[in-house]
């Protein structure tokens, strides 16, 4: 019996040392759902596009000014998921930024007729963590669905201007993560 208590005590010490109890109580990382066109990618006159890949899967990318620091900041502080018609091909942008590939959400249009909303519902409807969705316009059904969920925040960009520091600041504030340092 006494020996069992010794083993139990040692196991507890080990769990504390490895931070296991800390992991249990640590809040989950906030989620960032990220569109490409009209957010990161905005064609502008006088700006040359970045060619991200060759061959039949060539993608022309016109990164908005804060794209690179934003992506590095986002990958650090959020669990980021692509939510874009680029689907998995958006990972060429992650490669351009020197970041690891992430998952791209996908779904059928479903009852709402909006595949992005269906993808969000399927993956995050039961989650209680902060979820920030950055897009250049979502459907009325998506707006209504998000509006009923206080842990969700929709950040809307202008499709002709894309992501700005104000949008990034709004995402940081809602998710309670450090603001992006533009100088880095
Ligand atoms: Mg878009």
- Please tell me the distance between residue 114's alpha carbon and the centre of ligand 1 in angstroms: 13
pLDDT (0 to 100) of residue 130? 97
pLDDT (0 to 100) of residue 152? 98
pTM of the predicted model as reported, rounded to 2 decimal places: 0.82
- Please tell me the distance between residue 6's alpha carbon and the centre of ligand 1 in angstroms: 59
Q: Which residue has the higher pLDDT, 101 or 25?
A: 101
- Please tell me the distance between residue 38's alpha carbon and the centre of ligand 1 in angstroms: 5
- Please tell me the distance between residue 34's alpha carbon and the centre of ligand 1 in angstroms: 9
Tokens linked to 121:
């519902």
- Please tell me the distance between residue 180's alpha carbon and the centre of ligand 1 in angstroms: 22
Tokens linked to 118:
């269906």
- Please tell me the distance between residue 18's alpha carbon and the centre of ligand 1 in angstroms: 43
Identify the H or E element spanning 169. Answer: helix 165-175
Residue burial 50-86, b: 16+ Cβ < 10 Å; e: rest: eebeeeeeebebbbbebbbbbbebbbebbbbbbbbeb
pLDDT (0 to 100) of residue 139? 96
Q: Which residue has the higher pLDDT, 140 or 18?
A: 140
- Rounded Cα distance between 172 and 49, Å, is 28
- Please tell me the distance between residue 46's alpha carbon and the centre of ligand 1 in angstroms: 21
- Please tell me the distance between residue 14's alpha carbon and the centre of ligand 1 in angstroms: 48
- Rounded Cα distance between 68 and 59, Å, is 17
- DSSP 8-state code for residue 88: G
- Please tell me the distance between residue 160's alpha carbon and the centre of ligand 1 in angstroms: 10
Domain ranges of the chain: 27-175
- Rounded Cα distance between 21 and 12, Å, is 9
DSSP class per residue in 130-155:
-EEEEES---HHHHHHHHT-TTEEEE
Structure confidence by residue, pLDDT tens digits, 98-152: 999 999 999 988 888 899 999 999 999 999 999 999 999 999 999 999 999 999 9
C-beta separation of 141 from 2 below 8 A: no
Structure confidence by residue, pLDDT tens digits, 29-87: 999 999 999 999 998 776 777 888 776 667 889 999 999 999 999 999 999 999 999 99
- Please tell me the distance between residue 56's alpha carbon and the centre of ligand 1 in angstroms: 22
pLDDT (0 to 100) of residue 27? 73
- Please tell me the distance between residue 85's alpha carbon and the centre of ligand 1 in angstroms: 8
Q: Which residue has the higher pLDDT, 68 or 20?
A: 68
C-beta separation of 35 from 67 below 8 A: no
C-beta separation of 13 from 113 below 8 A: no
Q: May I ask the CATH architecture of the domain 27-175?
A: 3-Layer(aba) Sandwich (3.40)
């Amino acid at each position: 019996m006494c020996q069992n208590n010794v083993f139990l005590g040692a196991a507890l010490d080990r769990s504390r040392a490895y931070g296991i109890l800390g992991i249990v109580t640590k809040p989950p990382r906030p989620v960032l759902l990220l569109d490409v066109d009209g957010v990161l990618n905005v064609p502008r006159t006088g700006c040359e596009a970045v060619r991200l890949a060759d061959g039949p899967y060539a993608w022309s990318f016109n990164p908005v000014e804060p794209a690179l620091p934003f992506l590095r900041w986002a990958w650090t502080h959020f669990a980021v998921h692509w939510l874009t018609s680029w689907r998995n091909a958006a990972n060429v942008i992650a490669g351009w930024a020197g970041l690891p590939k992430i998952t791209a959400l996908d779904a059928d249009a479903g009852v709402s007729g909006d595949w992005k909303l269906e993808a969000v519902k399927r993956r995050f409807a039961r989650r209680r963590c902060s979820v920030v969705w950055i897009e250049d316009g979502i459907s009325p059904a998506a707006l209504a669905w998000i509006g009923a969920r206080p842990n969700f925040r929709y950040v809307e960009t202008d499709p002709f201007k894309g992501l700005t520091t104000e949008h990034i600041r709004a995402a940081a504030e809602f998710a309670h993560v450090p603001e992006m340092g533009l100088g880095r």
